[in-house]
């Protein structure tokens, strides 16, 4: 049994890509996208016709609507290849505006419905895990629209998402690892900071154990991996979203892979207290976590930059 098949025994495997031609090879249950992945995809010759079609069919409409229609077109192509859900992201420029995030999410939902998609079962609206984004997710979940809270780096963000009834969160393992490695500089010990000691892995394990201990239904989906060791150290997580390159590595390896996260054991732990955070407490806790504060801001800026690039590409086409 290869490592990818072994992982599937305990964890739902999700493909992290806008390149839907790669999906059939790895047979993931779900797929996630983000502005950076879509931007990368539409610059490939095989996907350029999707961009051209969106522009020609919807000429004269506002650019932000045409972009959403392109995202939905990619999502529908992905849904034709996976049996589960696709995550489609709200424009990162709305990350600090609850009302605008809800409005954009509702438009994406209507566009998917117009394509015949069962949005309750097959769509996750992806939103940055700012306080405003989490409040938008709370409202959307109350309407029966499921959400995936992304750019999640801190325990405080996870606590707030669980309290808001978010369907799924995406803690960014690799970006957490990157920050600690850069911060340590020449003193970084790769061997001592790998596997279960990887700071990104430790963050996800803490969130996973907290949710299971307190019966929080929010699904945990580790994301943003740098190597297969990080993936193996989270075997047993509810879901893991993995790039095609790392999916290929897992499929090519027959090295042993063991269960690493145990939901049943976490439920029995008495040393995990329940945490409650209102807005001031959330903002203070996030501020106290330098890594999470920096990586959240950096992530919003990065997705925004790629959204702007996509706008310019479509405007120039």
Active-site residues, by number, are 126
What's the per-residue H, E or C state across the chain? CCHHHHHHCCCEEEEECCCHHHHHHHCCCEEECCHHHHHHHHCCCCCHHHHHHHHHHCCCCCHHHHHHHHHHHHHHHHHCCCCCCEEEECCHHHCCCHHHHHHHHHHHHHHHHHCCCCHHHHEEEEEECCHHHHHHHHHHHHCCCCEEEEEECCHHHHHHHHHCCCCEEEEEHHHHHHHHHHHHHHHCCCHHHCHHHCHHHHHHHHHHHHHHHCCCCCEEEEECCCCHHHHHCCCCCCEEEECHHHHHHHHHCCCCCCCCCCHHHHHCCCCCCCCCCCHHHHHHHHHHCHHHHHHHHHHHHHHHHHHHHHHHHHHHC
Q: Is residue 165 a contact partner of residue 141, using CB atoms and an 8 Å limit?
A: yes
Work out the number of other CB atoms within 10 angstroms of the CB of residue 56: 9
Q: Is residue 106 a contact partner of residue 129, using CB atoms and an 8 Å limit?
A: no
CA nearest neighbour of 219 among 143, 111, 285, 141: 141
Tokens 């993936």 belong to residue:
231
């Amino acid at each position: 049994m290869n490592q990818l098949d072994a992982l599937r025994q305990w964890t739902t495997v999700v493909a992290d890509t806008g390149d839907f031609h790669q999906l059939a090879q790895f047979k993931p249950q779900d797929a996630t996208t983000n502005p950076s992945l879509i931007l990368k995809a539409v610059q490939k010759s095989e996907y350029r016709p999707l961009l051209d079609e969106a522009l020609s069919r919807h000429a004269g409409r506002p650019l932000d609507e045409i972009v959403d229609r392109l995202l939905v077109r990619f999502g529908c192509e992905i849904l034709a290849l996976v049996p589960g859900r696709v995550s489609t992201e709200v424009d990162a420029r709305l990350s600090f505006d609850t009302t605008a995030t809800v409005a954009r999410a509702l438009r994406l939902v209507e566009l998917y419905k117009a394509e015949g998609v069962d949005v309750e079962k097959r769509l996750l609206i992806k939103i940055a895990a700012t306080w405003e984004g989490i409040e938008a997710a709370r409202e959307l979940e109350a309407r029966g629209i499921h959400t995936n809270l992304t750019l999640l780096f801190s325990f405080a963000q996870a606590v707030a998402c669980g309290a808001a009834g978010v369907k799924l969160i995406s803690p960014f393992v690799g970006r957490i690892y990157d920050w600690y490695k850069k911060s340590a500089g020449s003193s970084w010990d790769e061997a001592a900071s790998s596997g279960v000691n990887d700071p990104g892995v430790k963050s996800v394990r803490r969130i996973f154990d907290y949710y299971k201990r307190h019966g929080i239904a929010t699904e945990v989906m580790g994301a943003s991996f740098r190597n297969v060791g990080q993936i193996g150290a989270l075997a047993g997580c509810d879901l893991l979203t993995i790039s095609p390159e790392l999916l290929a590595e897992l499929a090519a390896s027959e090295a042993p892979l063991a269960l690493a996260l145990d939901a049943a054991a976490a439920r029995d732990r008495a040393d995990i207290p329940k945490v409650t955070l209102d807005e001031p407490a959330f903002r203070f806790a996030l501020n106290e976590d330098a890594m999470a504060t920096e990586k959240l801001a950096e992530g919003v800026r990065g997705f925004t930059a790629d959204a702007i690039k996509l706008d310019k590409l479509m405007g120039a086409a």
